[in-house]
Amino acid sequence: MSTHRWTPYLFLAPFAAVFLTFLVYPLIQSVFLATQQTFGPGFVEQVGFDNFRLLLQDPRFHKAFLNTCLFAAGNLLLQMPLALGLALLMNQPWLKGRAFYRVIVFSPALIGTVFVGVLFGVIFQKRVGLLNQILHGFFPVWDLEFPWLEEFILPAMILASLWMWIGYNMIYFLAALQNVDRDLLEASRIDGANARQRFWHVILPAIRPVAGFVVLISMIGSFQVFELPYLMLGNTSGPDDGGLTIVMYLFENGFQIGDLGYASAIGWVLAVVLVFLSLIQRRLSRGEAYA
Amino acid sequence: MARYPRQSLFSRLSNWYSTGLILISLIALLTTVLVLLRPSTDHSGTVFWTFSRVHIDLYRPLVEEWNATAMAPSDGITERSPIVLQLKDPAALERQMLSGFFTGTPVAELIEGHSLIMPKAWRGPLEAVGFHDLTPFLKRDGLLDRINPASFSPWTYKGRIFGLPRDVSPVLLAYRADLLEAAGIDARSITTWEEWMTRLAPLVEDLSGDGVPDRFLLEFANPPDGLFGALYQQAGGRYLDADGLPVFNNSLHARLMARVAIWAARPGNVIATVPQGSGAGNRLLMDGYVVAWLQPDWRSHLVEAELGSLHGKVRVMPLPAWEPGGRRTSVMGGTMLGLPKLEAETPDAFEKRWAIAKYLYCSEQAASRQFSLTNMVTPVRDFWKDATYDQPNAFFSGQAIGRMYVEQAAHVPMRNASPYFRFCQVQAGQALNKLIRWAERTGQRDPDILQEKAHEFLTMAEDHVLLQMRRNVFQKLPE
């Protein structure tokens, strides 16, 4: 009997050990770190809320915050409708070779952000970049020196992200579309609803929970963006910090400058923002569910 | 009593677990055993970490020679310690080095790193620097006088030298002699940047016929901090003063920024961005997209190795000066060797490490080999007269580039070892970028107006550096 009492804890122990060591302890430690300045564990100075106070005055953090918000907004506004559109297309029974197209559209998600970052860094280059070369080939007036990675960093980042994640998000929407009640669709058709009406009044309400989830993970992913701009911009934040994101700034402070306290403060601000956005999203989803 | 048929271990296990899980567990077990049985590498000796494969090739014969006589008493030490070379990725080297300094995890007895890595070791209080202060040993062994003073500057923090310099990194201008000769321009007679841009102006050409120039007069970089930093330092510019406070918001800096912005702002630019060190960048250099580039001695080796089609078409010359009679060189890059502080080390053990450091960095055979393999000039001044530097180099049109670099080595500008040096450079580079963008947006090319605007951007950059510096409780900067 006593063996049975301990059995669940025994099974939970490996997870609990890993969870406590690699998540809970660092999380608690980062709270303390955010109120300190350190040079290794041997040299620690308590600075209270100075790290957070500096964040309010730091123009580079403001820039990073703004860039990240714009990237997240652009990403969501472009990616969600396009992913849903693609899913609707891939869900059409008349489309031949749907499975093949799905693989093609999904495949960029398999490549990995690092490769996509390097790849788009080359594609967007001036003069030798593929995009400028193609545009110049089609339209000779197109300037080969078009500065994608100088003047249009955020649109370039959003395009690269779109290429990478649209197929991934499409799969979620496709799964949701395939779960839409056929009887309901049939009934609406019999009632005389046209395609647009069926989409707005039957399909969209049915896939809302999945859409909410996709929006949430895309938003969190967008706020955590790091490798993509870092590699696209050659391990820099780009001219005038045009590609600086919150996590890039965290990385720069924590691992390049070595200011772990300030980096922890940035990390906590990011965490709070994400929790806040998640709560808003949850509230909106709940409202939809009640509706 | 019924007897059940006897089951194999696998059958019994597969009643409980899936075949996949059993297979994964077996693989994990097998690989664990293999790792445990793997013979350990013998690291007995003095471990030397470096970040560059080229450096490993450079040191290997020297190390073999040293190790062959490892037990022979010489050099005033009781016995030599064999050297164990280890190559590390720069990021791994940096993290392992700092972890060792912070927490006492094992580090090599000798660590070689470049100028982006090593200053991080002295971001905290002076007593926390993990390297030995080499100043007394350099003085004792006469190296302080033998080594070029500017080479010490990136490793001298608060008056103490923490690294033995490996190089001088003087900068010359490499140019496409074939293109200039075809245009009837004698580059060697050009002595200032203004003259370079004026006399070479006809070379800015539209070769493809699309109405846009395809050839420019100098390689530029984005971000421009390193390249422009070299030009600023050539003119005598400094980023930090003796107290470690930023001083890069000055009229010299603003004036140079205004000039460079006029050259770089489109339309009408005469210099162009090249993605340096990449395949695309090399392609542009080979195609003659730019006719000249800043070339520290270490880059000349890379140019030789990577731009084979330019063999015999390139020449080097001292940098054009900013003003007539001004400095004709600058500095880019740099590497040092540090001796980490080790627990309970005897003076004799330290001397053994120090002897290796001197052998690899300051011996005549090391200097000679360094130049023949990498085109890099040693900072030890008494070796500069060596005939190795007079060898003609076929790639660079038969010029004795070694001698040309040596001639400029003594004029290399001093640098600052502050951990904020690089940060200042990056911020100044961002300010220049803003100025160029502003000039492009407004079409403004008046040097005085651009200079005024440069001051505005530099003020913002300097304020930002100060904001970061002032909050470092370990630096204790003067008000």
Amino acid at site A245? T
Q: Give B125's contacts in chain A (Cβ within 8 Å).
A: 39, 43
Contact at CB, B128 and A39, closer than 8 angstroms? yes
**Mean of the per-residue pLDDT values of chain A:** 89
Nearest to A157 by CA among A148, A168, A170, A146: A148
Whole-number pLDDT of residue B42: 62
Contact A225, A161 (CB under 8 A): yes
ipTM score for this prediction: 0.77
Q: Give the residue on A whose Cα is nearest the Cα of B466.
A: A58
- Dihedral sign of CA atoms A126, A128, A131, A133 in order: positive
Whole-number pLDDT of residue A290: 43
Interchain contact A234–B (C-beta under 8 A): yes
Among candidates A40, A54, A140 on the partner chain, residue whose Cβ is nearest the Cβ of B128: A40
In the three-class reduction of DSSP (H, G, I as helix; E, B as strand; rest coil), residue B342 is classed as coil
Whole-number pLDDT of residue B43: 65
Among candidates B273, B464, B474 on the partner chain, residue whose Cβ is nearest the Cβ of A59: B464
Q: For A187-216, what is the mean pLDDT?
A: 90
Q: CA-CA distance, A149 to A201, in Å (whole number)?
A: 42
Whole-number pLDDT of residue B41: 66
**pLDDT tens digits, residue range A242-278?**
999 999 999 988 887 778 899 999 999 999 999 998 8
Q: Cα-Cα-Cα-Cα dihedral of B211, B214, B218, B223, to 10°?
A: 90
Q: How far is CA A192 from CA A202, A207, B79, in A?
A: 13, 22, 98
Q: CA-CA distance, B294 to B392, in Å (whole number)?
A: 20
Q: Give the residue on B whose Cα is nearest the Cα of A146.
A: B266
Residue A38 has pLDDT above 70, yes or no: yes
Residue A291 has pLDDT above 50, yes or no: no
Contact at CB, B467 and A41, closer than 8 angstroms? no
Whole-number pLDDT of residue B71: 58
Whole-number pLDDT of residue B449: 96
| DSSP 8-state secondary structure symbol assigned to residue B289 | S
Interchain contact A194–B (C-beta under 8 A): no
Mean pLDDT (10-residue bins), chain B, 479 residues: 67 82 92 86 82 92 85 56 91 91 89 91 84 95 94 91 95 96 92 95 87 90 89 95 90 97 93 86 92 96 93 96 95 94 86 92 92 94 93 95 96 88 90 93 94 96 87 72
Interchain contact B28–A (C-beta under 8 A): no
Whole-number pLDDT of residue B392: 95
Outline where chain A has alpha helix (H).
Answer: 2-19, 25-33, 50-57, 59-90, 98-106, 108-111, 113-123, 130-138, 148-151, 153-178, 182-190, 195-198, 204-223, 227-232, 246-251, 260-290
Interchain contact B434–A (C-beta under 8 A): yes
Whole-number pLDDT of residue B422: 86
Q: Give B128's contacts in chain A (Cβ within 8 Å).
A: 39-40, 42-43
Contact A93, A110 (CB under 8 A): no
**pLDDT tens digits, residue range A93-147?**
888 888 899 899 999 988 888 999 999 998 998 888 899 999 988 988 888 888 8
Interface size between A and B, measured as CB pairs under 8 A: 80
